[in-house]
Structure 1
Amino acid sequence: MVSEYLEPLAAHPALAPIVNYGHRVTKVTRVQPQGKGVGRTRSQGREDSLFLVRIETATGTEDVLGRAVIDASGTWNTPNPVGRSGIEAIGEIEAKVAGFITSPLPDPMGADQDRFVENEDITLLENVSVSSVVVGEQLTVHLADGRLLRLDLVVPATGFRPDLKPLTELRLDLDQIVEAPRALGPLIDSEFHSCGTVTAHGERVLAHPEPNFYVVGMKSCGRAPTFLLATGYEQVRSIAAYLAGDRAAADLVELQLPESGVCSTDLADSCCGTSNPGNIGFATGTLHGHAELVSAQKSCGSA
């Protein structure tokens, strides 16, 4: 994913000069062009104001101004807890600090290899509720049904949630169930939809009361797991068209999923892909994200 998609995309001549690394956004608010503050409660002149984005870098803190903000920060760093009903189990924070609870997507063959190499037995638990954990030589896990487990590591598969703390000074309209934009919530609720049944949507669905502010990508789905990269590409294209003044293009939203299903790649029949379409885990529709890369893949054997 990184070497074959993200790095080539970031190195594209149109993007490389404007991609900044090592920047973390901590706050987003609004200011007048002359510098006067525009808090959340101020409506007069809000549409004509600029965004002030506070950024932490290796060299310190700085503020950046812009006329629009598209939050594509994802949910990678905000996994759901292992505790029941959406809150941490008693002792969960201490267990994470002690290294007994890993990130939701560890790398057992790479960076996390040392943590997994001596643990040969795997216990898979589904639909369980953890009430408390106790740190010792092993991690003692108390389940809500009364069972007790002693484990070396816990790899949580509990899903993710959006980090909305940097956005508290903005006017957001969120679905009360999944914390997605209100108009998007019913389209992605995982009790009624899978990622393959989410309809195409763009700027109008993603808009908030805050003018020219959008959340896209995985974070736009809030707590719902029904996201595809192809959906995100179409979200960004629609918003970019709107910000460029092309309302017709912004409203023309389409979503083309691979014919073999939403869990396959659209490169399977190319000279550089596999001979048989297979479920390899990326329902990205690479064609939507970087057409030039796909062209290169398909022409690599034509000479």
Structure 2
Amino acid sequence: MTLIDLSPAPPTGSVLRDLPVVVIGAGPVGLAAAAHLAERGIDFVVLEAGAVAESVSSWAHIRLFSPWKHLVDPAARRLLESDGWSAPTESLAPTGGELVERYLRPLSSLSAIAPRVRTAARVVAVSRRGMDRTRTSARASTPLVVRFQDSSGLSELSARAVIDASGTFRSPNPLGSNGLDPLGAHAVADRLLPAMPDVLGVRQSEFAGRHTTVVGAGHSAANTLVSLGELIRQEPSTRATWVIRSREATRVLTAESDELADRASLSSRLRRLLEFGVIDIVDRFEIVGLSREDDGMLVTGQRAGGLESFHTDLLVNATGFRPDLGMLREVRLDLDEVVEAPRRLAPLIDPNLHSCGTVAPHGVAELAHPEPGFFIAGMKSYGRAPTFLLATGYEQVRSITAFIDGDLEAARAVQLVLPATGVCSTSSAEACC
């Protein structure tokens, strides 16, 4: 295993102490990191590729599985309440839109955070000042450099530390079971939709009276299918097909032990739609090709040792997400070769062994990389594993910011109380579950 230096941050007066911490991403975990840094009086800059909480806003119509008590970071709560904020009812589960409007936007607007948030600033690379990843001498005492693109072009910030909380929502898994886009996908790109479209809201006219195929065996697929079921009730000419690669979607259809009642309810509703034949299911189907037809597309897949094809108008990709590691090529990472999570974290989050509620508490010791001062937090830290909950990300950044501040005792004292969730989703879009 790669040795990782967990010695305290450089002493006061060093060149690094005078530089800010750069947080990548202004989603729930990135803003929680900002809150912890603000509480500790550490200078920071948040770089966000779009708008604050833009990914969450894209699924504003989806109700989260977790109630408010699991969705508000403790440091963020303290800062908000000191500014007169009233917490929502802890036992209620908000929609994505409510999470943004009642928590994330007020948090980003606080005087301790707002001046340090730069939106429409997309990070394209992280490196060291004057060093690529091959140079070792004086590496730990050399500032990190974050290059980003904004309206004025390319710019760079020097940093004492970098917390990458950019998430995975903008990098979905390909539709092919081999991890690649199916042949012909480029020709039907305008008919391929991202996970969790607003079927019953602003995009309803796109789905009504048409045949939509949803690919994926997790809760983001289930959400879309249940919405399509309601649309079929309203507009009977609408059709929906569910494609999964396995024999059955165990994780989404067996949730009796789930303490998150909304998630258990979703599973029950989907089972009823299948039992009554409202939604068709095609199991053990691995997509290998897509081809354009005048009024839709032909989906070809491997099934039972042969090729099968069917027609659909639209196809929703709900196959999960993966981390975008391209901007980290000059950073020394220690990632598990299977799930692409930090190597010490990977066995704790293996979806074959753990549900969301059985992940052990973890912090800076499990998240550190051979690159001093660089950390991946939030959903991106879980790589391709789908077992992430927001409360986990909040504890991650609490531990990381304590370490950056030289408070090793607090950094190591990780605690995490999660609901017993039975089974977990297969979609990192449910990072807020």
Alpha-carbon distance in structure 1 between the residues aligned to 2:135 and 2:209: 58
| Distance of aligned partners of 1:224 and 1:153 in 2 relative to their CA distance in 1, 3 Å threshold | same
Amino acid at match of 2:185: E
- 2: CA distance, partners of 1:102 / 1:121: 16
Q: By how many angstroms is 1:283 displaced?
A: 8.1
The letter of the residue matching 1:235 is: Q
Higher helix share: 2
Q: List gaps (5 residues or longer) in structure 2.
A: 1-98, 211-237, 246-284, 423-428
Shift of 1:106: 1.8
Q: For the residues of structure 1 that align with 2:387 and 2:141, how far apart are their CA atoms?
A: 35
Deviations 1:216-259 (Å, cap 9, x if unpaired)?
0000000000100000000000000000110000000011224x
Larger RCO (CA under 8 A, 6+ residues apart): 2
Question: Residue 142 of structure 1 corresponds to which residue in structure 2?
Answer: 300
Tell me the equivalent position of 1:228.
Answer: 389
Partner of 2:280: none
1:87 and 1:227 map into 2 onto residues whose CA distance is 24
Greater CA drift, 82-91 or 205-214 = 82-91
- Is 1:72–2:233 an aligned residue pair? no
Give the letter for the 1:200 counterpart.
P
Which residue number in structure 2 is paired with residue 131 of structure 1?
288
Q: Letter of the aligned partner of 1:95 in structure 2?
A: V
* Closer, same or farther: CA 251–217 of 1 in aligned 2, 3 Å: same
Distance 1:165 1:111 in 2: 33
**Kept in 2: contact 1:203–1:239 (CA 8 A):** yes
Work out whether residues 230 and 283 of structure 1, in 8 Å CA contact, stay in contact via their aligned partners in 2: no
- Please show how residues 1-303 of structure 1 align to structure 2 within 5 Å: 1-31=99-129, 37-96=130-189, 99-119=190-210, 120-127=238-245, 128-137=285-294, 138-145=296-303, 146-258=307-419, 261-262=420-421
| Separation (CA, whole Å) in 1 of partners of 2:196 and 2:157 | 32
Shift in CA distance, 284/89, structure 1 to aligned 2, threshold 3 Å: closer
Secondary structure in structure 1 of the residue aligned to 2:118: coil
Q: Distance in 1 between matches of 2:317 and 2:324?
A: 18
Segment of structure 1 superposing worse, 199-208 or 58-67: 58-67
SS in 1 for 2:123: strand
Structure 1 residue 105: Cα displacement? 2.5
Cα distance change on mapping 1:283 and 1:76 into 2, 3 Å? closer
Instruction: Give, in angstroms, the shift of residue 109 of structure 1.
Output: 3.6
Instruction: Measure, in 2, the Cα distance between the counterparts of 1:283 and 1:218.
Output: 6
CA gap of 1:19–1:177, structure 2 versus 1, over 3 A, is same
How far, CA to CA, are the matches of 1:118 and 1:10 in structure 2?
A: 41
Please name the residue that 1:266 is paired with: none
Letter in 2 for 1:211: P
Equivalent pair of 1:83/1:92 in contact (CA under 8 Å): no
Distance 1:262 1:7 in 2: 28
Structure-2 residue corresponding to 1:300: none
3-state secondary structure, aligned to 1:180:
coil
1:254-295 deviations in whole A, cap 9, x for unaligned?
11224xx449xxxxxxxxxxxxxxxxx98859xxxxxxxxxx
In structure 1, stretches of 5+ residues that fail to align are: 32-36, 264-280, 286-303
Please tell me the root mean square deviation across aligned C-alpha atoms, in Å: 1.8
For the residue of structure 2 that corresponds to 1:134, the secondary structure is: strand
Q: How many angstroms apart in 2 are the aligned matches of 1:209 and 1:216?
A: 15
**2-side partners of 1:94 and 1:183: how far apart?**
41
- 1:124 shift after superposition: 1.2
TM-score after normalising by structure 1: 0.81
Counterpart code for 1:89: P
Separation in 2 of the partners of 1:60 and 1:236? 30
Contact 1:181 1:207 in 2 (8 A): yes
What residue in structure 2 maps to residue 268 of structure 1?
Answer: none
Query: % of aligned pairs identical?
Result: 46
For the 8 Å contact 1:75–1:219, the answer to whether it is kept is yes
Residues 164 and 375 in structure 2, CA contact (< 8 A), matched pair in contact too: yes
Aligned counterparts of 1:27 and 1:283: Cα–Cα separation in 2: 24
CA-to-partner distance for each residue in 1:99-150, whole Å, 9 max, x for gaps? Answer: 1110123222445334223422111122221010001221100011222111
